[in-house]
Amino acid sequence: MAPDVFYYLDYRAFLRDLYAHKKAEGRGFSYRSFARRAKLGSPSFLKLVIEGQRNLSLEMAGRFASALGLSGDAADYFRVLVELNQAEDSATRDAAYDRLTAFRGYRNAQRLDAAHAEYHAHWYLPAIRELATRPDFEADPEWVADRMRPPISNAEAKKALDVLLELGLLVRREDGRVTQGEAVLTTGAETRGVHIFRYHRAMIGRASASLDEIPGAERDISAVTLCLGPAGIEKLKEKVRAFRREIIQLATQEKRPRDVVQVNVQIFPLSGEPANPASRAASSAKTASSAKTVSAKTVSAKTVSAKTVSAKTVSAKTVSANAKTVSAKTVSAKTVSAKTASSAKTVSAKTVSAKTVSAKPSSELTPSPKPAPSSKPAPTSKRTPTQSATARASRAKASTPVAKAEE
């Protein structure tokens, strides 16, 4: 029977088992033939993936699923399984695991893993398991729910009891009483990280909430910040391990257990040497260089802006100067016009005067009407030749202005 992908939590293990199954069928299946089906450039790529020397991208995972004959939910499950196994952080791993558990095939094939997931994801399942050490413990959902702090619903308590019984962490005795079982809680290597991380997150979350929910007299929360060397840290870890063994021994010797308490011990670094000092120095230099570049660009932008403002100012001044010049020219033109008009008027006046002057000689040249004959004859006078010449010269002199005015 061909391997069912839903029974696997490690996609490399599935590929290994499926390859072995197809080879055993003797239908000419090989790494080279698979490479042709998946349109791979290297005939040994499948072998390298199975051995853990190569990873699969999500696009390549789809091509693998198609070449393996997977379709529908099986193909989707395979892709999510690849994402789960190759996750580099807990957030990505948790998201992939949640999508994995949503498949019906997973829930049918991985009931035990699903039960482990429930146990580690909810703080009250380990608490109920410990509560079962009480002599008066009752496997009644309402009785259990009322004793949790904070209280849980009856439905949550019932589901928790079912999961604990399925995992063997609680057992039902012949007399009907439910007590703590001897089963050792183990999870598969593929999902152990997911389950343990969720357990610690749940319990650390309860510790944080207890600061507000639990009176100070009923809890003890303390912390110490230290600076130790590598050897000192190892000694501290060994003391914590010894302390855990000691308090577990204390719990087994308890005669009348009543209340469940949680003891969290965490040791984690708050400082450390950089992983790659050279890389960090290069990164700092790059950041400084980038900052200088930005600063230079800012200065340049300011300079350009100042130049632009200056140019605008110059332009404004030029416009103003031009306006003034135009205005001056306009005024000058008006002055010239005025002068021209004045000159024209003067010339006109002179012309009028000239005409006037001209008019006067014209009237003088107009022959006077002859006087009416008198009854008395005018006296005649005799002129000498000299007097006649003088009179002719005088008349010629008087007619000269008339000729000039006409010109």
Q: What is the CATH number of the domain that holds 28?
A: 1.10.260
pLDDT category of residue 372 using cuts at 50, 70 and 90: very low
The lowest-confidence range among 34-48, 121-135, 277-291, 304-318 is 304-318
Rounded to whole angstroms, how far apart are CA atoms 111 and 184? 17
Q: Read off the amino acid at residue 284.
A: S
pLDDT of amino acid 255:
87
- Weakest mean pLDDT among 1-10, 196-205, 369-378: 369-378
The residue with greater pLDDT, 136 or 367, is: 136
pLDDT of residue 9: 85
d(CA 7, CA 11): 10
CB-based burial label for 211 (10 Å; 0-12, 13-18, 19+):
exposed
Answer for the pair 231, 149: CB distance below 8 angstroms, yes or no: no
Compute the average pLDDT of residues 1-25: 88
Helix locations, 110-188, DSSP H: 111-121, 124-131, 141-146, 154-167
Q: Could you tell me if residue 73 is inside a domain?
A: yes
Give residue 316's identity as a one-letter amino acid code.
A
Between 317 and 69, name the one with better pLDDT: 69
* Residue at 33 is within a domain: yes
Question: Considering only 86-100, 260-274, 357-371, which range has the smallest mean pLDDT?
Answer: 357-371
The mean per-residue pLDDT over the stretch 184-195 comes to 59
Amino acid residing at 57: S
> Which residues, at least 6 apart from 19, have a Cβ–Cβ distance to it below 8 Å?
29, 34, 46, 50
Q: Give domain status of residue 351, yes or no.
A: no
pLDDT value, residue 177: 92
| 253 CB-near residues (< 8 Å, 6+ apart) | none
Where does the pLDDT of residue 172 fall: very low under 50, low under 70, confident under 90, or very high at 90 and above?
very high
Neighbours of 45 (CB within 10 A): 19
- Count the domains in the chain: 1
Distance, in Å, from the CA atom of 206 to the CA atom of 228, rounded to the nearest integer, reads: 29
Domain that holds residue 2: 1-106
Beta bridge partners of 149: none
Amino acid at 361: P
Residue 393 belongs to some domain of the structure: no
Is 307 within a domain? no
The residue length of the chain stands at 407
pLDDT at 327: 44
| pLDDT score of 237 more than 50 | yes
Q: What is the pLDDT of residue 226?
A: 95
| Closest by CA position to 165, among listed 202, 123, 118 | 118
What confidence tier does 115 reach under pLDDT thresholds 50, 70, 90?
confident
Distance CA 126, CA 118 (A): 10
Question: What whole-number distance in Å separates Cα of residue 194 and Cα of residue 176?
Answer: 35
The pLDDT, as a whole number, for residue 51 is 93
Neighbouring residues of 54: CB distance < 8 A, sequence distance ≥ 6: 45, 48
* pLDDT of 16 strictly over 70: yes
Q: What is the rounded CA–CA span in Å between residue 264 and residue 396? A: 149
Residue 45 lies in a domain: yes
Residue 178, SS3 per DSSP: strand
Does position 399 have pLDDT exceeding 90, yes or no? Answer: no
Q: Which of the four pLDDT bands, split at 50, 70 and 90, describes residue 345?
A: very low
Of 166, 160, 199, 196, the closest CA to residue 181 belongs to 166
Q: Would you call 238 exposed, middle or buried from its count of C-beta atoms within 10 A (0-12, 13-18, 19+)?
A: exposed
Residue at 32 is within a domain = yes
Report the run of H or E that residue 326 belongs to, with start and end: helix 277-365
Q: Does residue 3 fall inside a structural domain?
A: yes
The DSSP call for residue 374 is: P
Please give the span between the terminal C-alpha atoms of the chain, in angstroms, as a whole number. Answer: 141
